[in-house]
Structure 1
């Protein structure tokens, strides 16, 4: 009897799923033009293309519909994309109650399911912007600390001698970024604690994979599956012993003396508690520490990894960079200001990010209610919209030789107008959106990320020779909206040799 009941229940679930899928495929967003295969079976082929060649679909849509929104069937269902200047301006101008960046991120990483309510707002909302603006103001003060940690992390992760040594790039850059970021966020004790910083790297990688898997599932089943595959609670238990005494002391001092007390450390915890964040317990704060590491490590280590592969692929540029770095340091020493004077180094990092990117599409928004663009296209509530970032970056109209790596492209542009900051690594524009389109939601951590990336590159350039292990640059990982350097591919390193 029970087998009959179970079978009937299973058939009912399958029928509901089939009806919902047919309705979604054929009737959702019908007024938007489609790029790629469609239809019940075609949608599965579209998902395959999206996961392996998202740039192909985005470039097609970018060319066909330059001033309109179009849809692609992804593993998440229909996703809207746009790139037209008018549409981007409307997205930027829309208030968060209409088009929400925070809710888009929350959905993309399934933060509410995996980390609990409130974390997304504290990680990516106004509180995060306030905290990261404080980080930016403190960069000159903390430059030497970050430089010290990054340099030591480079030495620890690229241990070499006179002979060439094969070292996997992305695991090394992730550890370097984790140590540099946590040195500034939490101080030297935790920034130099290898067990803790490696834990942050592992959490970041796993959280992204779990988020991607969960958002492919129907919403009603996500909490159930999350209990099976989400290990955030385990990471909380592993991280808590490293943080508990410090966090408990902070909360106790805040309760006794208010937000301003003698001896209050100038770090991430203090900056976060100074906002109206929802963290009121040690548990809350541990989750915020896990949360701040997620964007800090993932995107920054990917960008640094791309730059390392570019150095190894183009060793002829290493000597040019060495000459610039050594000249600036000889005149001004090491400081954030001297790092900003390394124009060619800045250009190299920006060109690497332009060409390889962080994601094929970013600057997403979620419609919180029905939203109509000025061209008449109406986006229903709950629908995500993405910007075709990679297609913009590879547009020959925006960049001559757009698919070529021209490391000093930006330095040459800046030489025509030395006072302009538009060509700086950290400056977004309508044609450079790696940190997001210019808006109130442009990545507030980009100044810190830029400083960390360039400091690591400067150290590597001054102290190592690099080359690819094979003839060709390892292929990037591309899995739909996730894009980065090959996760395990090595580069050959050795101690810098004297010029002959």
Structure 2
């Protein structure tokens, strides 16, 4: 029997397992778990193989606990982003009520223009204190272990304020919490569904991290709640940070220390987890005109293009934008492919970002690729030309922040933070690789690609 539903068709007759069997697979000839273990080491290559073989259809790859489905081709990718949430939904998170968090982030983003001076101040302080570069000598800096505390300080300056963002104990906790959640999530994801409730609590450090977070953040949140109860939403010297945003839009049952701290941790997790002469010229020009302001950031089109190209070339995942089939009767794509309820379908983000049909010379890092794409249009207005290819602009061929109604709501903050950091670097330092022109190879595991944690970049302060 076929049941019609807005935007899709639900199939109720053919057994789901038989319908899955007709979907082409990669890397699983015979024993499922052999293919799954191969995917742990060669997941990115297997997804790329599937993209080349089956572009335009859905294929599957063997995760340890289940099949993972991958949608390719513009039509199917579009369906993923535009199908209603009661059929294809973002995977459930370990925390409840994501709508409160999204609303708070959007509320927080609207005040971003007023926060640029604070971000700039923290960037200058953090780089000076953590980098330790001088004008005389090149200073080799381990990138990952250096950039994480810098990003953590800048982000937390706007999330929890000046005092805590520079507190060594809180800084260490916020970075470790990020690592704990990512590692635990992947380990639990390897388990079959029936084992997750049994072993998950032993793997996850969530309860321990919540106790630590409440110890450090609880007094501040309680103080802010008391001020809100006494003065309402406005008072002299009221902090304009994430805590205020969370409290102001919280429902009555959410306005408690535990709930607010829990949501702060989620946002911290999301935030901490990116050709110098033309860049310097651009930064000097816009800062001279507009100062270190949101207006100046919006006019740093070459800086914007550089970061967008870096995200295209060196994204962290080869699969992204996961959606779970939540309709009990499953979901049938427009090409006839059926996925039963509980299936998870992904978009092959790295393959799309490296597709020569979409991005010419995709293996070449072209810092001004997006800038030149805008400049090549006939529109004479620079802002209009570049807006389509801005860092925060999502499209089916550029998915670093997702796409559609579920595009990352925090991308505006992330973009401002990254642009301020890069602008500060190109204005303040000379930078080079340990081996001139050779980028240290990434480490690849399953669907993840991360920079070599031991890789170093050399910094030297520019002469004033």
User: Normalising by the residue count of structure 1, what TM-score does the alignment of the two structures yield?
Assistant: 0.82
The answer to whether 1:379 aligns with 2:339 is yes
How far apart are residue 250 of structure 1 and its match? 3.4
1-structure distance, mates of 2:276, 2:38: 37
What residue number does 2:323 align with?
A: 365
The answer to whether 1:227 aligns with 2:201 is yes
> Which runs of no fewer than 5 residues in structure 1 stay unpaired?
1-25, 112-116, 304-316
How far apart are residue 398 of structure 1 and its match? 0.6
Equivalent pair of 2:322/2:345 in contact (CA under 8 Å): yes
What residue number does 2:11 align with?
A: none
How far apart are residue 453 of structure 1 and its match? 0.7
Deviations 1:81-118 (A, max 9, x none): 11221112222222212111142xx2xxxx2xxxxx51
What residue number does 1:397 align with?
A: 357
2-structure distance, mates of 1:275, 1:381: 34
2-structure distance, mates of 1:346, 1:251: 38
Q: How does 1:48-447 map to 2 (within 5 A)?
A: 48-103=37-92, 106=93, 111=94, 117-118=95-96, 121-122=97-98, 126-161=99-134, 162-253=136-227, 256=229, 260=233, 262=235, 265-276=239-250, 279-298=254-273, 303=274, 317-369=275-327, 370-417=330-377, 418=382, 419-420=384-385, 421-437=387-403, 439-447=404-412
SS at match of 1:127: helix
Equivalent pair of 1:358/1:434 in contact (CA under 8 Å): no
Deviations 1:112-166 (A, max 9, x none): xxxxx51xx33xxx32322222222111111111111122112222111211222
How far apart are residue 276 of structure 1 and its match? 4.9
How far apart are residue 177 of structure 1 and its match? 1.3
How far apart are residue 213 of structure 1 and its match? 0.3
SS at match of 2:406: coil
Equivalent pair of 1:346/1:424 in contact (CA under 8 Å): yes
When the two chains are superposed, the root-mean-square deviation of aligned CA atoms in Å is 2.1
Q: 1:47 aligns with which of 23, 36, 44?
A: 36
How far apart are residue 484 of structure 1 and its match? 2.2
1-structure distance, mates of 2:22, 2:245: 46
What residue number does 1:15 align with?
A: none
> Which runs of no fewer than 5 residues in structure 2 stay unpaired?
1-16
How far apart are residue 27 of structure 1 and its match? 6.5
Deviations 1:34-83 (A, max 9, x none): 1223321xx34433443333332222222222222110012332100112
Deviations 1:470-498 (A, max 9, x none): 35311212222222222232112222258
Equivalent pair of 2:24/2:59 in contact (CA under 8 Å): yes
How far apart are residue 266 of structure 1 and its match? 2.8
User: Normalising by the residue count of structure 2, what TM-score does the alignment of the two structures yield?
Assistant: 0.88
Bigger fraction of residues in helix: 1
2-structure distance, mates of 1:253, 1:330: 40
Q: How does 1:455-474 map to 2 (within 5 A)?
A: 455-470=420-435, 472-474=438-440
The answer to which of 445-454 and 487-496 deviates more is 487-496
2-structure distance, mates of 1:354, 1:382: 30
Equivalent pair of 2:165/2:171 in contact (CA under 8 Å): yes
2-structure distance, mates of 1:209, 1:259: 40
How far apart are residue 387 of structure 1 and its match? 0.4
How far apart are residue 386 of structure 1 and its match? 0.5
SS at match of 1:274: helix
Deviations 1:437-464 (A, max 9, x none): 2x11001111110110111111111111
How far apart are residue 193 of structure 1 and its match? 2.1
In the alignment of these two chains, the number of paired residues is 436
